[in-house]
Amino acid sequence: MTPDITEDIKPLTRRSLFKLGALVTGTALVAVSGGMAWLGNSRIELPGLPTSITTMTQEQYHLFYALLKVLFPVDGTDLPRPEELGVIEDIDRMIALLPKHIRSDLSLATTLFNKGTVVVGFNLKPFTDLNQAEAEAYFSSWHRGTAIQRGIATALKKLAYVSYWRNSRTWEALDYDGPVTKKYNIPSLGISPVSSQLPHGD
């Protein structure tokens, strides 16, 4: 199952967002201040792109690598770490199933989120370089931000949450034993309206 993120990143087609994109990715910064093109580029050593990743760009991989630490602070709990479940690889497979134009919009969204720290986060380093406290505060600020920011944050969170929580290894810590439809062998009604499955009175 791939979550529907179409509505979340719909604003990415607006002309105003591409102007913001030019600013965030450095185009406007170069035009205005020449030598400041390095702003927003990572200056720490990050893991290389694994061969198991077939769709994500290196920037997307690094973003999700950092984002999962924010969304799943599971150390000291019974919940498994995202890397133990192959969450990034699963997200990669979900992205591969998205329509081409949605993948393109998502690529822009991840760049805006990662390098938006320079413009809207007042930080001279990308999201992937932030420490845990800074990253948590930055993500929360996007959740409370403009419609574009909220949409991007929601889209990223949907991909991460679906991939993590659908793995049955996360259920035990929550005392959840799986979908009741499987437990009690309840047949799926598919997309048929419920009312059509119910007996009609005289």
Write out pLDDT tens, residues 161-175. 999 999 999 998 888
Calculate the average pLDDT of the chain. 77
The pTM assigned to this predicted structure is 0.75
Q: Which residue has the higher pLDDT, 130 or 187?
A: 130
Confidence label for 11 from pLDDT (cuts 50, 70 and 90): low
- pLDDT, residue 60, reads 93
Instruction: Give me the long-range contacts of 114-119 (CB less than 8 A, separation at least 24).
Output: 114/40, 114/59, 114/62, 114/63, 115/24, 115/25, 115/26, 115/40, 116/24, 116/142, 116/149, 117/40, 118/24, 118/29, 118/39, 118/40, 119/20, 119/23, 119/24
The model's confidence at residue 26, banded by pLDDT at 50, 70 and 90, is very low
Contacts of 65 (CB under 8 A, 6+ apart): 46, 47, 88, 128
DSSP 98: S
Lowest mean pLDDT among 21-25, 27-31, 56-60: 27-31
> Rounded to whole angstroms, how far apart are CA atoms 105 and 111?
10
